[in-house]
A and B are shown apart, each in its own frame.
Chain A
Amino acid sequence: MSAMTSSGAPLVLVEDVHTYYGKSHILHGVSLSIGPGEVVGLLGRNGVGKSTTLKTIMGLVQPSQGKVMLEGNPISDMPPHKLARLGIGYVPEDRRIFRLLTVMENLRTGLDRDGVTDEKKRALLDKVFTYFPRLAERRNQAGGTLSGGEQQMLAIARAMMLEPKIILLDEPTEGLMPRMVSQIQNIIEVLHKEDVAILLVEQNVPLTLAASQRVYIMEKGQVRHHCAASAIDVHDPVIKQYLGVYRVIHFF
């Protein structure tokens, strides 16, 4: 069970975080950790606060209580643009690419950073275009003209331009065809090989269990279960308890 604890200090640590939207108490003391290069899954029904957890880490929402740490430094009151530069990439639900900017310009929002040489930029672009050849074809097209799957690719590619230490992925497979879902899984594997940590929020349980080292399961704004991904499978009673009966769809 050594997969339960990550070796060394965690990359991202969330400790007893409470978050409100106005008067709604969404997160009731969430705690989790992600180690460097780890893929961690976050499962739960709709509305339990998974997206809010990601948004809190990204600084888009301030926690009213609790701590969020990046590499041991507190980050809960830092603005999102600083966090992006410190190495947190964010791929939101519904992608939210810049529809009126071209694919290239979308990528440039992450690429045009201080201290990045032109060579490095070219290398990053090459890499991303190799993984996402469709984006290369459409590089001068406006983001809004891409299909749903391509937009998802763009959203991930854009975050990769930041050379992040961790990427927060919010339901990347939502609304995608099965063929694209396996592409997403490939990307996650690639990122993992490159030592990029991932916090994966997903409704797709088999994918999450296959891609992650550890999983957290949330319910009603709290973490209720935490284990190694290898310790459970889709039929596990824990899954049934917190996610309801899960209809297994084969993706492989």
Chain B
Amino acid sequence: MIQTLNGIVTGMILALVASGLTLIFGIMDVVNFAHGELFMLGAYIGVIVLTATGSFWLALVLAALVVAILGAAMQIVTLRPLIGRDPLTTILATFGISLILQNYVLWQFGPVSRKISEPITAHFNLFYLEYPWYRLLIAALSALIIGGFWLFLKHGKYGIWIRATTQDRVMAQAMGIPVPWVYTGVFAIGAGLAAASGVLFAPLAGVSHTMGLDWVLKAFIVVVVGGMGNLGGSIAAAIFISLLESYASIWVNPSQAVIVSFVVLILTLLFRPTGLFVPTPK
């Protein structure tokens, strides 16, 4: 039972991370290698704000904002000059950024991981188990953020801009939509989502400069399995994989449970390369 809950909780966070990645890829055709580092930065900033102010909510909001702005700056400086070039150059550029961010954090904070305490430490009783409230809160928050973002896409003026740009970049421009800024905005949102997930995750396992790497890898697997650019698919895949891993860790130790996601990936590539949760293309 615990495994199921754990699986769902990690699944939701993974879904949040993967959403940002899939968003950036689906709309801008950019594979953001630095996504894990944005997650990591969010976590670190969250820790700093938390220790300074004691408020978890402030940490969440500030981290997301700061990283979103940083994301926008990154996009303007390094990705805009590359628009129209071979899409592989963006992978390289974002890879370069991930190196810079990771090593900068390593330099500033050292290689030892830090722990921060959960903001809510009470447990509650589910049947015969004790389960920390905090974990449920994370899952709920993640779902809330994803849901909020979904609404934003469906209804707001900017949501329409984003969707129009995704469908037809040229006509979006012809309608007066400032497409270069839409791209910057989307990247910033993706970055903010990653940072938020980082803050949510931080109390679970502490922060370290390498935390981004594991998550980004899993997020990529999720995105491929869910169907690249498919938001709903990514979310479903995230929960699916996390649940499987969670169950697997009953029998093997966690660092090996990771193999599960690899197996799912291989199977997907063999039988349904367009994505497990995508309707079969006609």
Contact = CB atoms under 8 A, between A and B. Distances in A.
Interface in A89-135: 90, 92, 96-101, 105, 108-110, 112-113
Contacts of B106: none
B176 A105 contact: no
A90 to B, nearest CB: 4
Contacts of B164: 98, 101, 105, 109
B167 A113 contact: no
A98 B167 contact: yes
Contact of A84 (B157, B161, B168, B175): B175
A240 B163 CA distance: 46
Interface in B146-164: 157, 160-161, 163-164
Contacts of B52: none
17 contacts: A79-B173, A81-B172, A81-B173, A81-B177, A92-B171, A96-B168, A96-B170, A97-B171, A98-B163, A98-B168, A98-B171, A100-B167, A101-B164, A109-B161, A109-B175, A110-B175, A162-B175
Contacts of A79: 173, 180
Contact of A81 (B157, B160, B168, B176): B176
Contacts of B157: 108, 112
Contacts of B160: 101, 105, 108-109, 112
Contacts of B179: 81
Interface residues of A, number: 23
B176 A110 contact: yes
Contacts of B174: 58, 60, 80-81, 84, 90, 92
B254 interface: no
Contacts of B167: 98-101
Contacts of B175: 81, 84, 109-110, 158, 162
B173 A85 contact: no
Contacts, number: 63
A112 B175 CA distance: 10
B163 A96 contact: no
Given A81-B177, A81-B178, A81-B179, A109 B168 contact: no
Contacts of B170: 60, 80, 96
B178 to A, nearest CB: 5
Nearest to A96: B171
Given A81-B175, A109-B161, 14 more contacts: A60-B170, A79-B173, A79-B180, A81-B172, A84-B176, A98-B163, A98-B164, A101-B160, A108-B157, A108-B160, A109-B164, A109-B177, A110-B175, A158-B175
Contacts of B177: 81, 109
Nearest to A109: B175
Contacts of A112: 157, 160-161
Interface residues of B, number: 18
A112 B155 CA distance: 13
Nearest to B154: A105
Contacts of B161: 109, 112
Contacts of A58: 174
Q: Across the A-B interface, give the 6 residue pairs with the lowest CB-CB distance, nearest first.
A: A84-B176, A80-B173, A90-B174, A109-B175, A81-B173, A112-B157
A105 B179 CA distance: 17
Nearest to A90: B174
Chain A CB count within 10 A is highest, among B163, B170, B173, B178, for B173
Contacts of B176: 81, 84-85, 109-110, 113, 162
A66 B180 CA distance: 26
Nearest to B167: A98
A177 B124 CA distance: 69
Contacts of A81: 172-179
Interface in A211-239: none
A99 B161 CA distance: 14
A159 B24 CA distance: 29
A96 B177 CA distance: 15
A249 B176 CA distance: 37
Contacts of A92: 171, 174
Contacts of A162: 175-176
Nearest to A155: B171
Contacts of A96: 168, 170-171
Contacts of B172: 81, 109
Contacts of A85: 176
Contacts of B163: 98, 100-101, 105
A96 B171 CA distance: 7
B27 to A, nearest CB: 13
Interface string B176-201: 11111000000000000000000000
Contacts of A60: 170, 173-174
Chain B CB count within 10 A is highest, among A81, A92, A99, A158, for A81
Chain B CB count within 10 A is highest, among A80, A97, A100, A105, for A80
